[in-house]
Structure 1
């Protein structure tokens, strides 16, 4: 593959920073881009009810505001990540951030639910560039300096997104109190302006691809991307509302997936190189772990919160406060363990932690004391902090360096698949009402997923070397950073 070579020669740096150190001026745009998607998810959690009341839509209709974001991001993350692999992060980051601002404006002025859903789709695609761009920059800085990027950078990314999960609902409530539900969309406008400013000033400029005859550097596998979307959309739609009457959706997904696999194996420069991915079993195992880990995490977050209100009798604010220890513990765990490079131990502890936490859920009942609810939330916070950080670090080390953007995007895709599987499970076990019997059935489902997570981790012997000191992975040339903004 003819990619642009990295310019590893020393460049002038500001502030007297060492030439072979990670350029910390990149941290601000990296973190801002990475939080655009999760902050919108967190804020929406508290704005669905006022939006439904304002536009006269039932909960089944407003749920599409959540589904629209999941669909757009699950498809868009690897697509935009692949574009970043080919063209560098700057242009894609700026374009995505601008689209985020446009989506915020459209949502703020939306006259009805249909326009709001369209705004959420735009928002999903607009926020797709942030995380793949951040992972690309971490890798390109390692190539430039000749040193592996500090673990603190990956930790900062993980902690930032988890912090947003803590403050997101509170921020959403504050915004609604100040200006109504429209402010929860309008907040994307100043965030986008800040992202455009930071991205334009700090992200590296990349040289345009060389347009030589037969060059693969500028080839976009549009057919592969379209087939990927054609396979994923019906699958996600079926998982959101499983029904035997909708059998044609998984059948369509299987047919499109078969066409996608056939196309990618024959393409000269495929969107997802199945030959490389198929030979990278450790990375595939990481994606499976992400699916299982986030299935458990989202099932607890949304299912147990629903039970706290309907089965335990807490108010919505009380249920939200009970969940705070989960996020707080996750942040502390990520910060404390972030500098430890060994990934296998974190994943094993994370899987065992989820098993223990799911077992505790089986002890909950309609009269459980508040302290027990807090203990359960704390128990889920520990694996949350370990798994999120370890999975991100695993992809960084296991992915082909020239495809780090699309590989990071696929990690987010599998995470959202876990969220959608969790939503389907919640609908199956709590659809009749969030009583204690349904919660315990959901807990057994979560426990099964956590055990599978543990088995996949134990069986993966390659994890012993992932993140080990002095591990150097031969990397093909990546995109060239020829000039940094002023």
Structure 2
């Protein structure tokens, strides 16, 4: 008798064709900001942490790499599990791990434990974004709405706000109680996510009735493990390329070959390479994501470290200098967020990104703070455009049945860009965050931004995303999402 009311409520939920269930927004937003807040706050803490543990920038870069390497592996793995078992369990498990990792980092006795805390944070924050994209697709199917662009914009805007005000918040926390607080803040955030998730996220049984979860799917554990080994081996070598580590690329190549064979033969692969290979627009979106965030994260971490060491400003002041970047990113997202079309956003974002990278070459130890704030504001504009545009493109291009894993892969490519950025910062700041190192970084970012512009201009499929139909009147990917994709 007790199960019947629950089933009736689930049935009413799945047959109700009203608007988007707004109770889901709070846990989706709060969970999705866990990763950007941990990414951006660290930018102003690298120098204080380095001083506390006597670690140069090349070593503290591992705090960046640890989180992004764990997240690069964790996002598609957790996304695939979300597709199979629903978002609730994975969301609650991941956000609980965030709280534990935050407590561990706040009380870390040495640098190694601090790196471990960042690994756990990366794994824990891998759940919320795929879970949110899964719920968006489930709600779209339930309500009949083609594209919840307003909710997508809200998710992107909140992530953008947190990412760009993170350095300012981190600076304030450090000035209030030291770098330990940027880890400790995860404990109350985790608790809030757990409460909201437990109260508002639908149970797997309700989603099964609606057809959103397929419990009969197999979990391709072998494919997931090979993917993790491949990615980890390559990125560990990129972070510290040296002759003594010759075996790492070899391990990556062997794991990659085994992964390819496994996924081509598996009846229910972790990543369907045949289907993904046939979805060129989605592959292009993944590539653009990696390029966009190579520039964004290299600037965030490199410029911030230079401000504190090369320009000799405090962590709090560095966060305040980056505040205009926040305003520019939020304004760009707010002005364009409800427009489903993506091509114009990407082209404008690429052009402004080129201007910002060029402006980076003009700064030195004598540059006035107002000019440094202007440079940050210019870089903030593409941060508000590119990520949102790629997210909207993925929503239109990915197979709805694999929305969780496709969204996870989008984040993986984002973090591949972040890992490349971390490697670049470590290489150019090997002996400290100097002005020469910053200028060398600027030249590299100009090349990356140029590649992003070319990728945006040459992808003809972008013109169809967000349109009601193409020239022949056929529905676009947004009106009828492709049944191919990662």
What is the TM-score of this pair, normalised by structure 2? Answer: 0.87
Q: Please point out which of 155, 158, 161 is paired with 2:159.
A: 161
Structure 1 residues 233 and 329, CA, compared in 2 at 3 Å: closer, same or farther?
same
Q: Does 1:76 align with 2:78?
A: no
The equivalent residue for 1:27 is 25
Structure 2: runs of 5 or more not aligned: 1-8, 470-475
Q: Does 1:320 align with 2:319?
A: yes
Structure 1 residues 447 and 151, CA, compared in 2 at 3 Å: closer, same or farther?
same
The equivalent residue for 1:119 is 117
Q: Find the aligned partners of 1:102 and 1:366 in 2 and give their Cα distance.
A: 40
**1:251 shift after superposition:** 2.4
The equivalent residue for 2:96 is 98
Structure 1 residues 66 and 369, CA, compared in 2 at 3 Å: closer, same or farther?
closer
The equivalent residue for 1:473 is 480
Q: Find the aligned partners of 2:126 and 2:318 in 1 and give their Cα distance.
A: 30
The equivalent residue for 1:333 is 332
Deviates more, 1:181-190 or 1:128-137: 181-190
**1:209 shift after superposition:** 6.9
**Does the 8 Å contact 2:65/2:422 carry over to 1?**
no
**1:362 shift after superposition:** 2.9
Q: What is the SS of the residue equivalent to 2:294?
A: helix
Deviates more, 1:329-338 or 1:57-66: 57-66
Output one character per residue of 1:15-35: Cα deviation in whole Å (capped at 9) or x when no partner: xxx842111111000001101
Structure 1 residues 462 and 59, CA, compared in 2 at 3 Å: closer, same or farther?
closer
RMSD: 2.7
Q: Find the aligned partners of 1:37 and 1:286 in 2 and give their Cα distance.
A: 21
**1:92 shift after superposition:** 0.8
Structure 1 residues 147 and 415, CA, compared in 2 at 3 Å: closer, same or farther?
same
**Does the 8 Å contact 1:92/1:129 carry over to 2?**
yes
**1:199 shift after superposition:** 0.8
The equivalent residue for 1:3 is none
The equivalent residue for 2:413 is 414
**1:115 shift after superposition:** 3.2
Q: What is the SS of the residue equivalent to 1:11?
A: helix
Q: Please point out which of 56, 64, 67 is paired with 2:65.
A: 67
Deviates more, 1:304-313 or 1:151-160: 304-313
Q: What is the SS of the residue equivalent to 1:147?
A: coil
Q: Does 1:360 align with 2:372?
A: no
Output one character per residue of 1:423-456: Cα deviation in whole Å (capped at 9) or x when no partner: 2222333434444443333222111111111111
Deviates more, 1:25-34 or 1:411-420: 411-420
The equivalent residue for 2:4 is none
The equivalent residue for 1:262 is 261
Q: Find the aligned partners of 1:120 and 1:425 in 2 and give their Cα distance.
A: 20
- Mapping 1:228-247, distance limit 5 Å: 228-247=227-246
Q: Does 1:11 align with 2:39?
A: no
Structure 1 residues 450 and 469, CA, compared in 2 at 3 Å: closer, same or farther?
same
The equivalent residue for 2:6 is none
**Does the 8 Å contact 1:242/1:424 carry over to 2?**
no
**1:8 shift after superposition:** 11
**1:216 shift after superposition:** 8.0
Q: Find the aligned partners of 2:59 and 2:429 in 1 and give their Cα distance.
A: 19
Q: What is the SS of the residue equivalent to 1:204?
A: coil
The equivalent residue for 1:442 is 441
**Does the 8 Å contact 2:57/2:432 carry over to 1?**
no
What is the TM-score of this pair, normalised by structure 1? Answer: 0.87
**Does the 8 Å contact 1:216/1:269 carry over to 2?**
no
